[in-house]
Amino acid sequence: MIESTRQAPDHVSLAVVFQVRGNSLQVLMWQRARDPFKGRWALPGGYLEPGETLERSIRRHLAAKVDIDELAHLEQLETRSEPGRNPGSWELATAYLGLVPSDVDPEVPADTAWHPARDLPPAAFDHGEIVETALQRLRAKLSYTNVGFALAPETFTLSELRAIYAAALGHDLSATNLQRVLLRRGVLERTGSKREPGRTGGRPAEVFRFRQPELEVTDPFAVLRPPTKVTR
Amino acid sequence: MIESTRQAPDHVSLAVVFQVRGNSLQVLMWQRARDPFKGRWALPGGYLEPGETLERSIRRHLAAKVDIDELAHLEQLETRSEPGRNPGSWELATAYLGLVPSDVDPEVPADTAWHPARDLPPAAFDHGEIVETALQRLRAKLSYTNVGFALAPETFTLSELRAIYAAALGHDLSATNLQRVLLRRGVLERTGSKREPGRTGGRPAEVFRFRQPELEVTDPFAVLRPPTKVTR
DNA sequence: GGAGGTTTTCGCCTGATAGTCTCAAACCTG
DNA sequence: CAGGTTTGAGACTATCAGGCGAAAACCTCC
């Protein structure tokens, strides 16, 4: 491979890693110890190295912050290129969206912490905007794909799933309707077992799971689909 | 701004520019006169220059191929980073999706031509895959946004619009249903005038236009929206 | 052990929307 | 003016989201 003599921008990969923790959707960030943006919070990531793809790059950098195996979903989000986004150098950033199921609690380094997506601390670079974009993408996809699988445990009751969706979407919703919608679409299925009673005092809940542990678009939009027959 | 000493990849911007021409959705490409991929067809684009954003970059490069003013829509698509995508150098590419209304016929250079998206000539680099991604994105967005405005003329009859949607979606559809759906959503509006008769011999068609000449999501997915009231 | 409280499930109802079909309206030509 | 052609509009059906209330299945307390 011939080395280029062209003046080229540095390139970093970043990730907005979401997890539903407690009752809120939170983002993994780390606090910068050096300028620029010393003391402010940044998304995990780092330089792209020769020979690796952006996805491998972000996985490598993420591995320094969390256990990669707990990432249930990872997809490319957007590439930022404003010339002034890094005051010190010409640097592009490709952001990814990552999701961690709610039933794990990854160990993180001392400089790293989870912050509510809706109440971020002062962010470095354009990372605040990137989180915003990621949030919009996640919320849209929750509605027309099965991404929920990447935020939920393997199995769960509908109340638990409802809590996860509510945290991620930012608004409450009905468990009854959530069940009907996801079951009809074939996104959820019953495991057959019930949550062992004895805990709360109430009817034991059925345990569900997502059918597919990989992203799939539920219905490529009900609208304007190929008609069975067309006259006009 | 400090120059980086780091080994960095070149970065190019590319665009998949679609236009409905005749009865098919076509892509603007140019034929390479030099290796690598001599003789094969490539997407318009080129190097990112210091101080410009990716969007400005792709607009600048596109200006060499078509009249930029005819671009009714432009959005970022994806960034490609496979190390071997350019056999000669380490190069990332950020692709954009561009749309040109069907009622113009931009002049293009001698090496440049429109090709049916569904029947591309041999493509250079990973440009074939990029076109595929763009096609999927366009088709999805036709269903839940008003992007149609960027493929259609200012004003049009429903038959004309139906032909455009059919070409872009790749399947036929009902003009009646298209009208009802887009009108109800408030995406279309009537201009009040009718197409002057005398042409085909038939009832004169009403003339419509898109309400908004900018991208807007029709309904952020009807599903899982905040309920009016939540019990469970 | 039964009464009352809690949580979950289920079925019924409503309203909105996509899609089909048929007929009427408005033009043409001969 | 009759017949052909294109467009528009209303009726009808099917599907789906969402709301409501009753029943099921557990608990605890008396």
Using one digit for the tens of pLDDT, what is the confidence trace for B105-133? 999 999 999 999 999 999 999 999 999 99
Give dist(CA B174, CA B185) in Å, integer: 17
The CA-CA-CA angle for residues B94, B36, B55, to 5°, reads 20
DSSP 8-state code for residue A80: E
Give dist(CA A81, CA A83) in Å, integer: 6
Query: What share of chain B has pLDDT > 70, as a percent?
Result: 90
Give dist(CA A159, CA A202) in Å, integer: 12
Confidence of residue B2 (pLDDT cuts 50, 70, 90): low
The pLDDT, as a whole number, for residue A192 is: 86
The pLDDT, as a whole number, for residue A216 is: 83
Higher pLDDT, B201 or A224: B201
* B198, pLDDT greater than 70: no
Q: Which residue of A has its CA nearest to B5?
A: A10
For the segment B155-167, the average pLDDT, to the nearest whole number, is 96
Using one digit for the tens of pLDDT, what is the confidence trace for A72-117? 999 999 999 999 999 989 999 999 999 999 999 999 999 999 999 9
* B220, pLDDT greater than 50: no
Residues of chain A with pLDDT under 70: 1-5, 196-199, 219-232
For the segment B130-156, the average pLDDT, to the nearest whole number, is 96
The pLDDT, as a whole number, for residue A220 is: 44
Contacts of A198 (CB under 8 A, 6+ apart): none
For residue B91, how far is the Cα from the chain centroid?
A: 24
Give dist(CA A11, CA A61) in Å, integer: 13
Confidence of residue B28 (pLDDT cuts 50, 70, 90): very high
The pLDDT, as a whole number, for residue B228 is: 62
Confidence of residue B225 (pLDDT cuts 50, 70, 90): low
The pLDDT, as a whole number, for residue A64 is: 94
Q: Do B10 and A11 touch (CB under 8 A)?
A: no
The pLDDT, as a whole number, for residue A96 is: 98
Using one digit for the tens of pLDDT, what is the confidence trace for B164-196? 999 999 999 999 999 999 999 999 999 988 776
Q: What is the mean pLDDT of chain B?
A: 91
Helices (H), chain A: 54-63, 127-144, 158-169, 175-184
Q: Which residue of A has its CA nearest to B85?
A: A53
Q: What is the mean pLDDT of chain A?
A: 91
The pLDDT, as a whole number, for residue A209 is: 97
- For the CA of A225 and the C1' of D30, the distance in angstroms is 62
- For the CA of A104 and the C1' of D23, the distance in angstroms is 36
Give dist(CA B87, CA B10) in Å, integer: 13
Chain A, 5 to 64: residues with Cβ < 8 Å from chain B are: 6-11, 47-48, 50-55, 57
List chain B residues with CB under 8 Å of A51.
83
Which single residue has its CA nearest the C1' atom of nucleotide C10? A176
Q: What pTM, to 2 d.p., does this model score?
A: 0.92
Count Cβ neighbours within 10 Å for each residue of B128-162 and write b for 16 or more, e otherwise: eebbebbbebbbebbbbbbbbbbbbeebbbbebbb
